[in-house]
Structure 1
Amino acid sequence: MIRGVAALIAALLASSAAAQNVTSAPSGLLRWLDKTTGETADIELSRGQAAVSGRLVIQLDDCRYPTDNPSSDAFGHLTIMEDGRAQPVFSGWMMASSPALSALEHPRYDVWVLRCVVPGLPELEIAPDPSEDKEIVAPQEG
């Protein structure tokens, strides 16, 4: 199943890349989530740079965007390692507009691409994770 999805993603990326010109950005913005604690963080990484978040080491291999529309959809190639594992828990392309299409399948962590960082392009306002805004209210007796 996973290989089938990976093949579909590769085909989609190849066909969309053939249909439009893409440019590699010098860096990208990712969001990390610890599903157990609810902690989130936005991480800006340069191409080839890695960061430690929880038990994960997240490396941005590349971040690409449509040349004619830099503020539109971004896709990043990530390699994600976990402490104690020799093989990556994820290695592949993630699309900002469809993070579930090629997602990190991990019981505790989630990582997704928000956008590429393009020099000279104004920063887009990225909405915070909705789970951060939820306020837990205890039911009142009465």
Structure 2
Amino acid sequence: MKRLLVAALLTVASPAAAEDVTDSPGAILRWLDKMTGETADIELSRGQAAVSGRLTIQLDECRYPSANPASNAYAHLTIMEKGKADPAFTGWMVASSPALSALEHPRYDVWVLRCLTPGAPQIEDMPEPEEGEEIIAPQEG
């Protein structure tokens, strides 16, 4: 029985089981302030950051399955909190499983909605940033 389980795990973890992904130029994230109930959808380009509340959310990368772009999104984020030296979160978030790798913060929540893909609608007519919120352009390099 153990050999069968090990064989099954090796088959699932093999490179042949990995899906082909495509890099995206950006992503749409959702931000939540748990204390006020305020939410905002944030569209970021790769390398761009947005300040929402006390958080600076930077999109490092976004990838989606090549065969089915609408099925999932994998985004690498770096989230900093104002006044803290270490990131509040750095790593990959998966749109279909937000709890798998989540921001652990008592006040804020951030999760990935989707990558920007050709032909998919983007956030239309983004409103001006509200008080305490700003968009930071990508850094060259």
Tell me which interval the TM-score lies in, with the shorter structure as reference length.
0.7 to 0.9
Question: Which residue matches 1:75?
Answer: 74
**What's the CA shift for 1:68?**
1.1
Amino acid at match of 2:38: E
Q: Give the whole-Å Cα distance in 1 for the aligned partners of 2:35 and 2:117.
A: 33
Question: Which residue matches 2:121?
Answer: 123
Work out which structure has the larger RCO, using CA pairs closer than 8 Å and 6 or more positions apart in sequence: 2
Does the alignment pair 1:110 with 2:103? no
Distance 1:79 1:17, change over 3 A: farther
Q: Give the whole-Å Cα distance in 2 for the aligned partners of 1:16 and 1:73.
A: 19
**What's the CA shift for 1:20?**
1.2
What TM-score does the superposition give when structure 1 sets the normalisation length?
A: 0.73
Question: Which residue matches 1:22?
Answer: 21
Question: Which residue matches 1:85?
Answer: 84
What TM-score does the superposition give when structure 2 sets the normalisation length?
A: 0.74
Aligned residues: 111
Query: Aligned-residue CA RMSD in angstroms?
Result: 2.1
Question: Which residue matches 1:45?
Answer: 44
Instruction: Please give the per-residue CA displacement for 1:32-56, whole angstroms capped at 9, x wherever unaligned.
Output: 0000000000000000000000000
Moved over 2 A (4+): 14-18, 121-124
Q: Give the whole-Å Cα distance in 2 for the aligned partners of 1:71 and 1:38.
A: 28
**What's the CA shift for 1:123?**
2.7
Aligned identity (percent) is 74
Instruction: Please give the per-residue CA displacement for 1:117-141, whole angstroms capped at 9, x wherever unaligned.
Output: 112x2339xxxxxxxxxxxxxxxxx
The gaps in structure 2 that reach 5 residues or longer are 1-12, 123-141
Higher helix proportion (structure 1 or 2): 1
Question: Which residue matches 1:61?
Answer: 60
